[in-house]
Structure 1
Amino acid sequence: MVTIPTEIFRLYFEESNDAILLIDGSNWKLLAANKFAQKLFGLSEDDVSKTTFPQFKRIIKLARRDNTESVFTELTLDTKDFGEVRVDIYAKLIEWDGKQIIVATCRNVADHYFMSEKLVQTDKLVLLGQISASLVHEIRNPLAAINLNLQLMNRAVGDNKELQSYISSALQGVERISKLIDVTLGFSRQSTPQIEEINLNAIVINTVDLMNHLMKKKEISITFDLKKDIPPISADPKHIQQILINLISNSIDAVEGNGKIILKTFLEESAEIKEKFVCISVEDNGVGIPEEDLDKIFNPFFTKKPNGTGLGMAITQKLLYKYNGTIIVSSKPGQGTKIIIKFPFVQD
């Protein structure tokens, strides 16, 4: 059997991306916590020896009940700075120096739930894309026939203004369905991204230039707060620009008199995990989103705009998933909306 140096175990303990705790099974005192655990529970080096987790009594009870030395469960632990934190715990009971020690590996339940939901949502989007692609191909042929017959009818009615009005309205409906089909096909299409290093500041400015005429039309003021040395991200620039177009378009539609849109880029470091994020935020002073609609805005075809497709935010989410990105939406009716998109920063 190979002898593994103690130093390797120490390095694993200190540098692990999981929170690891050593608990005294007799008094629930915290004996040691690695760097990740200190971040997760808001502990300083001095706090470690002064902290107790009586909730770990449950670990001992479960181990005795099941006659085992290994326990997997969920606990809610009180922390100094973050209040209660729910964690999944894999615990191992060991004997050391005459004491029963609990070695616990902890993972934030919120992070686990988010990743599970993200996987479920991704599967839904893939399935919807497949169904949508099949449906729109079936719709296109009869729609083309309807369009052709309406145009023939329009010629046949001559100068009958009333009938022309009805036919014109029907043709507009056909055109809207046709545009919706194009957007849906774009949503369902699986294309290979052309990855390159992107300067987010440059792509923000370029996107605003493209949409400037829409903002001028509504007399919207635009403010930039772009971090000077923002690190680049690796992505397809067309995808990032499409995300920005979707978000800025929503802001343009949402604002009314004295409309304002603020665009920011910044670097964020997570307090709980060893990871940095390159971020863009789009903030407006528009009408806001009702609380009951916040959990629906990523559902394909959900819209309250008269001429909206309801695919903008679904496409945004789908594109972000390609780059392990996340999106955070905060909004209050009458006060506006702020959307932050985050991309993991991978340092060379």
Structure 2
Amino acid sequence: MSVYKTFFYLKRIAILTLKGQKLQVSYCYPADDVCYKGIEISAGEGEDLWKAFANSKQVTWKREADTEDSFLSCQGLDVAVINPLVTQNKTYGLFVVGSDRPTSYNPMDMTFFQQLANQIAIYCQDGALFAEVNRAKSEWEATFKAVRDIIVVIDPDLRILRVNQAALEFCGLPDPEVLGRKYCDVFCTANEPQCAKCILYKALKTGNTINTQIRLEDGRVMEMYGYPASQGGNEELGVVVYMKNITERLKMQVQLLQTARLAALGEMAAGVAHELNTPLAVIIGDAQLLNRTTPKDDQRYKLLEDIINCGLRCKRIVRGLLTFSRQEQYVFQPLCLNEVVKEALKLVSYYIETENINIEQKLDEQLPVIEGNSQQLEQVVVNLLLNARQSFDEENDSERRIQIRTGFDQKRNQAFIKVSDNGQGIPQKILTKIFDPFFTSKGISKGTGLGLSVSLGIVQKHGGTIAVESEPGKGATFTVYLPPAHDFDDAQDGIE
């Protein structure tokens, strides 16, 4: 200010910038009650200020009796020079200097004021650009962190440059322990010999987006994309890795496929039933008529009885197949677990017994009624029986045995179905994973890894759970626990 006083006598210096529909004082010297930082000036309070701003032209204001600019009048000034802050055809505000003495400024003075205003305008422009960059950066960072899928930015050496919150939750490490480390040390589950074939190197080399699926040790399936981030020949940006958990989506797809197969099975079973029921009725009827006229000590009597029993068995199998395949309605009603077991055995007992496996039944006749869907629970029992059947080593000549029994656990206050076998058992290292979607120890061609996962989901919707016990070489036991009907509503309250 002292330098300016050498050339000019100035009472007031102020910088005004636009804020919404008003001009706001961003700087003021000296600051007092009538002019201070933050004060806002509307169009009605500063008519001459707003005219200079709208026209982007330098204006000299002088106190007159009829002045309509109340803001400048209140400053105690006799004369003021209003200089628009203009750069690149954009007006950012006003630079105002004024004196409380009668003063006249020559053209060189006015040019100096405007040049000074132009420099201030450049600073305003830089500040606006910086604020815009900061705003865009903040928006980008907020979006980056908010994405619930995993995003990892890596450099050409596969070192981690940036991660979002989902990635930190996935690896269970804080940000400082992740940044700068190798991607493969934190996120990759591949064996070391496979590192040389890492598809991220392929993305870096070719510049093309890569896509693959990886299966984690806990059974989750992740879909991974690698987007090369280099632009304009700058190869230092590396790759943006995007990973999404698609386990539930795949599970749903397989379940939909299974539902479609069941629907097709139902259609087929209906056709088979229609085609077989008539000849079966004739076979059974004729055999019964012949049996009535055949003495019991006649050798043919036993043959006719076999024909009748086999015919009736065929009818029960067809009827059971129809019932099992009609699962479009998930209706809960009172039922007995013994009946669920019997219907499931009708479907698979012959299939199991043809492999020289003995099925033992121990059904508790005092079981309480539960509330559930019989077809869905039959599917659970069928899955457990088929798993037990597959547990036997084909080269083992010892007695093969599957036991299925029902009962009531007083301690748990729950009814149960227990399926036990004396097969190979389940290794301890995979015992905690067998209910994970898509986890299977049967090989790709022998199982989808969904049987136990779907079974557990069905049981949980009934308010129950499945427990497993196993010892390698001595078989396994799966126990389905379900609440009795009077406890069912309370159990459902805790299930989502």
TM range (shorter): 0.5 to 0.7
Tell me the C-alpha RMSD between the 2 structures: 5.6
Question: Within 5 A, what are the aligned runs for 1:77-226?
Answer: 87-94=222-229, 99-107=236-244, 117-189=254-326, 191-194=328-331, 218=362
Shift of 1:186: 0.9
Query: Does the aligned pair in 2 maintain the 1:93–1:101 contact within 8 Å?
Result: yes
Task: Please state whether the residue corresponding to 1:255 is helix, strand or coil.
Answer: strand
- Residue 148 of structure 1 aligns with an amino acid whose one-letter code is G
For 1:91, what is the secondary structure of its paired residue?
strand
SS in structure 2 of the partner of residue 157 of structure 1: coil
Q: Which runs of 5+ in 2 are unaligned?
A: 1-134, 185-194, 343-360, 365-370, 389-400, 427-439, 482-492
What's the CA shift string for 1:233-263, capped at 9, x where partnerless?
xx96445544566578889x8239xx89898
Separation in structure 2 between the aligned mates of residue 139 and residue 179 of structure 1, nearest angstrom:
12
> 1:219 and 1:330, CA in 2 relative to 1: closer, same or farther beyond 3 A?
closer
Which entry has the higher C-alpha Rg, 1 or 2?
2
Report the number of matched residues. 274
The structure-2 alpha-carbon separation of the partners of 1:335 and 1:61, relative to structure 1 and needing over 3 Å to count, comes to closer
Q: Secondary structure at the match of 1:194?
A: coil
1:255 corresponds in structure 2 to 403
Match for residue 476 of structure 2? 336
> Is the partner of 1:26 in helix, strand or coil?
coil
1:131–1:149 CA distance, 2 compared to 1 (3 A): same
Cα pair distance change 1:262/1:193, threshold 3 Å: closer
Q: Partner letter of residue 403 of structure 2?
A: V
Structure 2 CA distance for aligned equivalents of residues 83 and 293 of structure 1: 14
Report the CA distance shift for 1:174/1:287 in structure 2 as closer, same or farther (over 3 A).
same
Task: Provide closer, same or farther for how the CA distance between residues 72 and 128 of structure 1 changes in structure 2, counting only shifts above 3 A.
Answer: farther
Change in Cα spacing, 1:152 to 1:209, as seen in structure 2 (3 Å) is closer
**Kindly tell me: are residues 10 and 135 of structure 1, through their superposed partners in 2, closer, same or farther at Cα, counting changes over 3 Å?**
farther
1:124 is displaced (CA, Å) by 3.4
Larger relative contact order (C-alpha < 8 A, sep ≥ 6)? 1
1:31 alignment partner in structure 2: 161
- What displacement does 1:175 show? 1.3
Native 8 Å contact 1:74 1:86 kept in 2: no
CA contact (8 A) 1:282 1:340 kept: yes
Counterparts in 2 of 1:241 and 1:104: CA distance versus 1, 3 Å: same
Scaled by the length of structure 2, the TM-score of the pair is 0.41
Per mean C-alpha deviation after superposition, the further-off stretch among 32-41 and 111-120 is 111-120
**1:52 Cα deviation from its structure 2 partner:** 0.9
Are the aligned partners of 1:207 and 1:244 in contact in 2 as well (CA < 8 Å)?
no
> What is the CA deviation profile of residues 178-205 of structure 1, one whole-angstrom value per residue up to 9, with x for unaligned ones?
1101111112325433379xxxxxx9xx
User: For 1:195 and 1:11, how far apart are their aligned partners in 2?
Assistant: 46
For the structure 1 residues 86 and 186, does the alpha-carbon distance in structure 2 shift closer, same or farther, using more than 3 Å as the test? closer
Distance 1:111 1:144, change over 3 A: same
Determine whether 1:47 maps to 2:190: no
Q: For residue 90 of structure 1, what is the amino acid of its counterpart?
A: Y
Q: CA deviation at 1:45?
A: 3.9
What is the TM-score with the length of structure 1 in the denominator?
0.55
Shift in alpha-carbon separation, 1:146–1:237, aligned structure 2, 3 A:
closer
Does the aligned pair in 1 maintain the 2:419–2:479 contact within 8 Å? no
CA separation in 1, counterparts of 2:151 and 2:336?
45
Given that 1:288 and 1:337 are in contact with CA atoms closer than 8 Å, whether structure 2 keeps it comes out as no
Q: Sequence identity of aligned pairs in percent?
A: 16
Tell whether the 8 Å contact from 1:72 to 1:90 is kept in structure 2 after alignment.
Answer: yes
Instruction: Classify the secondary structure of the residue corresponding to 2:237.
Output: strand
How far is 1:92 from its partner? 2.2
1:59 aligned onto 2:200: yes
Select 1:22's aligned residue among 153, 164, 179.
153
CA distance, structure 2, for counterparts of residue 283 and residue 249 of structure 1:
10
Judge conservation of contact 2:340–2:377 (CA < 8 Å) in 1: no
| Displacement after TM superposition at 1:5 (Å) | 6.7
Q: CA deviation at 1:169?
A: 1.2
Q: Deviations 1:89-109 (Å, cap 9, x if unpaired)?
A: 22223359x741422112468
Equivalent position SS for 2:181: coil
SS in 1 for 2:421: coil
Q: 1:46 to 1:57 in 2, by over 3 A?
A: same
Q: Does structure 2 conserve the Cα–Cα contact (< 8 Å) formed by 1:17 and 1:36?
A: yes
1:24-47 deviations in whole A, cap 9, x for unaligned?
A: x23322233334434544544443
CA distance in 2, matches of 1:297, 1:339: 24
Deviations 1:280-314 (A, max 9, x none): 99765532478999679989xxxxxxxxxxxxx89
| Cα 1:115–1:162 shift into 2, 3 Å | same
- Deviation track 1:41-92 (CA, whole Å, cap 9, x = no partner) reads 4544443225312669743543543x54xx1233779x9xx69998542222
